[in-house]
Structure 1
Amino acid sequence: MRPLISVDAAAAAIQATTVAAATEQVALHDAVGRVLAQPVLAEGPQPPFDRVMMDGVAMQWQPVMPALLRVAGMQMAGMQGGALTDPDTCIEIATGAVLPDGCDCILPIEQLRRTPDGYALKETATPAPGQFIHRRGSDCAAGSPVLAPGVRIGAPQMALLAANGVAHVTVARRPAVAVVATGDELVDVGATLPPGRIRRSNDLALMAALQTAGLGQASLHHLADEPTVLAAALAALLASHDTLVLSGGVSMGQRDYLPDALQALGVRCQFHGIAQRPGKPMWFGVGPAGQRVFALPGNPVSSLVCLVRYVRPALLAGMGLAPEPPEQLPLASALPAFPLAQFIPVRLGRDAQGNAVAEPVGSRNSGDFTALAGTAGVVELAAGAGADAGQRLPLHRW
C-alpha cells in the first residue's frame, strides 16, 4: 500500500479528475432535481403588466376622498384592462388583475363597507398613491438573467422556468454509475442466510445515498472474490459506465484482489489509503477512457463515510453543481484527538437555547452500521485535533 495521504489531498486528487458532464434536453416536468446547464433570461418584463395585489377596488387617489365610491365596473384576473374615467367611481378588482387605466390606488375589501350605492371607506382605510400595485417590470426587465447554470432545479427554479416559457430545459446528464459489492460471504437480501454469510447491504446503502442526492439510479452488481471473475466483470462495467463505486476487496487481505485487477485493466491508481478513520483503505483510480473508479472499504460505516465525503461531491461537481461549503454545527459534547482524521456519526439535537447541535454517537467499530440508526451524518475532525463542546465542525449528511 502506498503512503497514506490526507483527507484534503484525497479530495483534491479526485477533484482534479473532474470532467464536465454532457448535457441533454428534458421536458420541464422531468427536470425536477436536475442540474441546470443553461442560462435562463426573462422572457419579458416581470410582472408583464401593472398587477393588482389585493381584492377590493381600484380607484384614483385624491387628497380628499369622496364619501362614497360608485361602482363603474368589475375586472377579474385574466380580463383585459379596463379604464376609469370618473375619479368619484371605482372598479371592483381581484388579486392578479391588470390595473385599469386611470387608477393608481387599490383599497382592500377589508377597508370598505358595501352599500346599495357603492363603497364607503371605513375609518381604518388608508388610501395612498401606488399602494397594492405590483408595477410592470419592477421585478426584472426583459432579457435579464433569472437563472444561471449550476443550480439544482427545485420549486423556485421550476416556477421561474415555467414563468419564462422554458418548456424544454438543458440539464447536465447524470453519470452512469455502477455500484459493485464484492465478497464471497455476501448473499442477496431475500435469500436464505447460511452460517458464516451476511446479507448484501453496502451496495443498497451506497445506491440510496447517490439516488437521494439526485444522481439517478445506479446499477447494482455482486462479484465474487475470484481474479478471473473480477477481471471479466470489471472490464464489462468499465465499458458501459463512466463511474464505478466498489465496496470491499481493497485492503491488505489475501483475497483483496481489486487493486491489481483494476490496474491490469488500465485503471491508473491515484491514491490508495487515506489518513482517516473509518475508511483508511480507500482506493481511487482513473480508467483508460477517463472512467473514475472509487474502491471503498467493505466495512459498512467506512464505505458510507467515503461515499458522502468523496464520491458524491465529485459526481455532483461533474454535473456542474455549484459547490457549497459544508454545514457547520456545534458539538454537544467534547471529542478526543486521534492521530488520523476522524468521521464521527452524530444525531441532531437542541441545546438549552434551542439551537441545533451535533450529538456524537459512539460506534464500536467500522462494521457497526446499527449505530447509524437515527444519525444525520458524520462530523469531520482533523488529524491530531480534539474538539470541545460547542466547537463547530463540518457535517457531511448521509
Structure 2
Amino acid sequence: MNELISVAEAEALIARHMPSFGSERVGLDDAAGRILRGPIHAERDQPPFDRVMMDGIALRRSGSLPRSFKLSGVQLAGMAAQTLLDEDSCIEVTTGAMLPDGCDCIVPVEQTRRDGDRYVLAEDYQPAHRQFIHARGSDCVIDALLLDAGTCIGAPEMAVLAANGVTDVEVAIVPSVAIIATGDELVDVGAVLGEGQIRRSNDRALAAALRTRGFHRVALSQVADDLGATIATLDALLATHEVLILSGGVSMGQRDHVPAALHALGVRRVFHRIAQRPGKPMWFGIGPQGQAVFALPGNPVSALVCAIRYVMPALLASMGTVTEPPEHVCLDGAVDTNANLTCFVPAHVQHDSSGRALAHPVPSRTSGDFSSLPRTHGFVQLPPGQNIVVAGTAAAFYRW
C-alpha cells in the first residue's frame, strides 16, 4: 500500500514536477484574461506633460494677483501648448489639455465670471500655486516598471498596455485540459436515469472551476470501469491534451482501474494518497511527453476540494501567474477533525464589525454530499494533531 504523504509534501511535489506550457504573442484585443510572461515598462512619463485637471482658466500666480484677467487664447485637449502673454492675461483651458507655457495655476470656471473679453475671479477666492495641475511624470516616469510578469490582464492592466502603445503582448499559453469522469453508474446530464444510475456532475463542476480561472480549452469525456476502455481513452487524450484531470477510479477497489491504466501508458506516478480528509486517494503523475495528470477521487466534495487545493494553483503557477496566499479566517464554531489527517471543511465566510473574517463551518455529512456546497464560499484547512478544533482558531481559507 502506498504511504500517505502530507498536504505540504503533495503541494511541493506537484510544484517540482509541473511542466511549463510556454508562451505566445497575441494582439492586445485578445489579451484580456491572459497571463503576462514579460514585464511592461512605461513608454514615456505619465502624464507626458503638465496636465490641466479642471475646465476654467490658466494664469500665472504672482505675488500681487489681480482679480481680472484679459483672455488671450484657448488651450483645448490635444492642442500644442499655447503661451501666456503676460501676468494680466489668462487662457481658457479644458480638462486634459496641456498646461499653457508661462502658467502655474488653474482656476475652475465656477470660480470665475465672464465680463466681455475678461475673466473676473469670484469674490474672496484665492487660487493656490499649482492647483489643479497634474504634474508631468507624477504617475510614473519613462521606463518605470508598470506590470510584472505573471500578472493577469484585467481592465486596469489593459488600460496600462493600451496607454503605453503595446499592440501585441507575450502571454502564457493556456493548456488544453481533458476532464474524464469514470464510472459505470454515470450518465449525461440530460439522460433518462436508469436504476442505480446518477448524472455526471463532477466533470461540470471541475470545468466551471477551470473556466472561471481563465482556462477555456476544456474538453469533457467519460469512460466506464473497464481497464481496456480506460487505457484506450486515456491514450487518445494524452495525445491531444497537456493536462488530464480524472474523477473516480483512483482508490483501491477492484473496479478502480485508473492507476493501472496510467502505468500502462507510461505516465510516471509522482505520488498516490495524501493524509487528508476528504480526498485521500488523490494521484498525480507526469506523462511521457510531460503531460500533467491529476487523478482525483470520485466523490464530489473530494474531487472539488482536491481541484481547488492542488490542481488550480498548480496550473496557474505553471503559466507564471503571481498567486496570492490563501485568506486567513477565524472559526466561529468548533469543528470535529482528525488527529492524523489534514481536514478540509466547507465554510461560509462573513466579516464582523471590525472587519475580521469569520468562517462558519458547514461540514459535509459525507464526501458525496455536495448539495450544501452552494451555501459555502470555500473551505478551511485544519492541520492534524487534535480531534476537535475550537472556535476562535485561525485557519487558511480557499475559495471555490
TM-score (norm 2): 0.96
Gaps of 5+ in 2: none
Q: Distance in 2 between matches of 1:86 and 1:351?
A: 60
Take 2:115 and 2:331, find their aligned partners in 1: how far apart are those partners?
64
Query: Contact 1:112–1:125 at 8 Å: present in 2 too?
Result: no
* Cα distance in structure 2, aligned partners of 1:19 and 1:250: 23
- Which has the higher mean CA deviation after the structures are superposed, 323-332 or 372-381? 323-332
Task: Determine if contact 1:278/1:342 at 8 Å carries over to the other structure.
Answer: yes
Whole-Å separation in 2 of the counterparts to 1:375 and 1:318? 28
Shift in alpha-carbon separation, 1:365–1:337, aligned structure 2, 3 A:
closer
Gaps of 5+ in 1: none
Match of 2:391 in 1: 389
* Per-residue deviation, residues 178-226 of structure 1 (Å, max 9, x unmatched): 1110111010111111121000100010011011011223111011111
Query: Which of 293-302 and 354-363 deviates more?
Result: 354-363
Greater displacement, 44-53 / 248-257: 44-53
Q: In 2, Cα distance between the equivalents of 1:332 and 1:133? A: 50
Residues 116-155 of structure 1: per-residue CA shift (max 9 Å, x gap) = 4532222453322222212222322222222221111112
Conserved? CA contact 1:215–1:316, under 8 Å: no
Aligned to 1:2: 2
The 8 Å contact of residues 348 and 378 in structure 2, kept in 1 or not, is answered as yes
3-state SS of paired residue (1:393): strand
1:257-295 CA deviation, whole Å, 9 max, x = no partner?
Answer: 100110111111111111111101111111111111100
Superimposed CA distance per residue, residues 350-373 of structure 1 (whole angstroms, 9 cap, x where no aligned partner): 335454321111311000000101
Higher mean alpha-carbon deviation, 169-178 vs 321-330, is at: 321-330
Q: Which residue of 1 aligns with 2:25?
A: 25
User: Which residue of the partner structure matches residue 357 of structure 2?
Assistant: 356
Letter in 2 for 1:361: V
Matched, 1:327 2:315: no
Q: Does 1:181 align with 2:176?
A: no
Match in the other structure for 2:48 = 48
Residue aligning to 2:144 = 144
User: How far apart, in 1, do the equivalents of 2:19 and 2:338 lie?
Assistant: 35
What letter matches 1:195 in structure 2?
E
Distance 1:315 1:323 in 2: 11
Q: Distance in 2 between matches of 1:177 and 1:233?
A: 14
Partner of residue 120, structure 1: 120
Report if the CA contact (8 A) 1:235-1:265 is conserved: yes
Aligned to 2:193: 193
Deviates most, 5-14 or 58-67: 58-67
SS at 1:240 equivalent? coil
Alpha carbons of 1:354 and 1:86: their partners in 2 closer, same or farther (altered >3 Å)? same
Tell me if 1:205 matches 2:195.
Answer: no
Secondary structure of the equivalent of 2:375?
coil
Contact kept, 8 Å, 1:77 with 1:97, in 2: the verdict is yes
Residue pair 2:113, 2:121 contacting (<8 A) in 1 also: yes
Q: 2:19, 2:292 within 8 Å by CA — same for their partners in 1? A: no
SS in 1 for 2:317: helix
Between 69-78 and 250-259, report the one with greater CA deviation: 69-78
Q: 1:106 aligns to what?
A: 106
Tell me how far 1:310 sits from its aligned partner: 0.3
Aligned letter for 1:346? A
**How do 1:1-398 and structure 2 match up within 5 A?**
1-123=1-123, 125-339=125-339, 340-353=341-354, 355-385=356-386, 386-398=388-400
SS of 2:321's partner is: coil
Partner amino acid for 1:177? V
Contact (CA 8 Å) 2:175, 2:217: kept in 1 or not? Answer: no
Confirm or deny: 8 A CA contact 1:51 1:135 kept in the other structure: yes
Distance 1:89 1:353, change over 3 A: same
Q: Distance in 2 between matches of 1:84 and 1:116?
A: 19
**C-alpha contact (below 8 Å) 1:272/1:283 kept by paired residues:** yes
Distance 1:153 1:217 in 2: 18
Identity of aligned residues (%): 56
Alpha-carbon distance change, 261 to 124 in structure 1, aligned in 2, over 3 angstroms: farther
Aligned partners of 1:99, 1:352: CA distance in 2, in Å?
46
**What is the alpha-carbon distance in structure 2 between the residues aligned to residue 91 and residue 126 of structure 1?**
18
CA distance in 1, matches of 2:85, 2:72: 9
In the alignment, the residues of structure 1 paired with residue 127 and residue 176 of structure 2 have an alpha-carbon distance, to the nearest angstrom, of 61
**Take 2:67 and 2:257, find their aligned partners in 1: how far apart are those partners?**
91
Larger displacement relative to structure 2 (45-54 or 332-341): 332-341
- Alpha-carbon distance, 1:32 to partner: 1.1
Question: Which segment drifts farther, 94-103 or 133-142?
Answer: 133-142
d(CA) in 1 for partners of 2:30 and 2:54? Answer: 34
